[in-house]
Structure 1
């Protein structure tokens, strides 16, 4: 896999002493403080970068608010960020997507989560001393952003775009975008190791649903959390034409967009 997007625990362990590598723990503060965290990790809880302040970007926090979070954590624009959680990476992937959208060039997802790391490496309860920075965000221009809105999704339905629903079976059967295929985001995770399945296995899983690198892909769920993980994984596998429907099914139904329901080949 592309180490610019997803890195292994071994890679991170070898780079913990690098002052340009900053580890971000997105769990709740009580978990970070009470359970422990990776050495040197700072805490930026999920709720702090998940709101509706940025009216043009769904539930992203806004460029300045996100910049304040990174600056308070001692992170600069040129630093490498590695994010993790303890939920197979789904919340950390949302952090990765947010950082990408606001122009951070080198942000990565830890393969696995806190529990996976803890099986092989030490954790700590010590909070690192950080020196705040004056972080300057550079939000992506619309044409460079993976995020798409209702109008773009409506247009994609008229093309040969593949709509990928990352939710559970019952959600998919209740309502889905027309023609969508279901790919539960958790299918890429090995439950025993808590890390991603081997690359060949991932490619087989995806191709079995018609999710191949030559297709234009539009990802959605309910509120754009779960698709963050799938987006990062596809990115790591070399997929390039990936669109991220930030409003997801919630926005689609608010606009009375057409949906399908009932059992389907999922």
Structure 2
């Protein structure tokens, strides 16, 4: 996942029929069927890959492999994902794929509501030939442990980022963490991201720079995932995230800090 991870609707329109490209709609089936979808897109609803077991919010590896294979996605497939919620659910699909070793990943800038404004839609379900999908986990993972997060709060070259809403952050957060609500980088009018320079400025205003090791956390995996994808799009080279909850943090005997972010 690199700086071309986020692609325009025009890019998707050009490439959606290419061999080896699969567009994935992660909305519920009733939305995909009833409201319509990007022509040729397959439907992989969020709940079908929403985990919550031994590995944070990841689905079991064998279930993930079967899910992708039945939708015609192989290990070398170019995946483009979208939803109708500014990309936050689609980002989780892509980060799950990344954690299980898939690399050719893209997020539609915007969502289905934005797509509908100027592009063709369909209610036809594409014919898909199932394939075998083999998970090959990467040698390095952006996932970090609770102990690594605790160490990050003390490291001079690291910043811990809470991607929850300001009200949640104010109630209690990991000490030293800054707050950046994932929606701050979204343009409500276009439903996609704000201009790159504006997004860079938002992160920089929080002290989040490409020179720092960024550690993300939240209470929902999708919000972490969206911010993670945006940071990779901006070219940040060292981004990690913690998928444990603040309940787990407290149960481990670690303190929380209350109060609003002075930069928020």
For 1:90 and 1:254, the matched residues in 2 are separated by 28
For 1:251 and 1:257, the matched residues in 2 are separated by 9
Match runs of 1:68-79 below 5 Å: 68-79=66-77
Matched, 1:251 2:248: yes
Matched, 1:145 2:141: yes
8 A Cα contact 1:168 1:184, kept in partner:
yes
For 1:168 and 1:87, the matched residues in 2 are separated by 16
Change (3 A) 1:175 1:97: same
Aligned to 1:9: 9
Change (3 A) 1:264 1:75: closer
Which range moved further: 148-157 or 8-17? Answer: 148-157
Equivalent residue for 2:64, pick from 39, 63, 66: 66
Stretches of 4+ aligned residues off by more than 6 angstroms: none
What's the TM-score once normalised by structure 2's chain length? 0.95
Matched, 1:32 2:32: yes
For 1:197 and 1:263, the matched residues in 2 are separated by 24
| Aligned residue pairs, count | 261
8 A Cα contact 1:224 1:248, kept in partner:
no
Match runs of 1:122-137 below 5 Å: 122-137=120-135
Aligned to 1:170: 167
Which structure 1 residue ranges, 5 or more long, are not aligned? none
Which range moved further: 83-92 or 151-160? Answer: 151-160
Aligned to 2:196: 199
For 2:94 and 2:247, the matched residues in 1 are separated by 22
SS in 2 for 1:162: strand
For 1:71 and 1:175, the matched residues in 2 are separated by 41
What's the TM-score once normalised by structure 1's chain length? 0.95
Change (3 A) 1:128 1:239: same
Aligned to 2:45: 45
Aligned to 2:154: 158
SS in 2 for 1:153: helix
For 1:3 and 1:200, the matched residues in 2 are separated by 14
Displacement of 1:34 in angstroms is 1.0
Displacement of 1:251 in angstroms is 2.8
Aligned to 1:111: 109
Aligned to 1:188: 185
For 1:154 and 1:3, the matched residues in 2 are separated by 29
For 1:116 and 1:131, the matched residues in 2 are separated by 29
Which range moved further: 249-258 or 31-40? Answer: 249-258
8 A Cα contact 2:3 2:234, kept in partner:
no
For 1:254 and 1:96, the matched residues in 2 are separated by 30
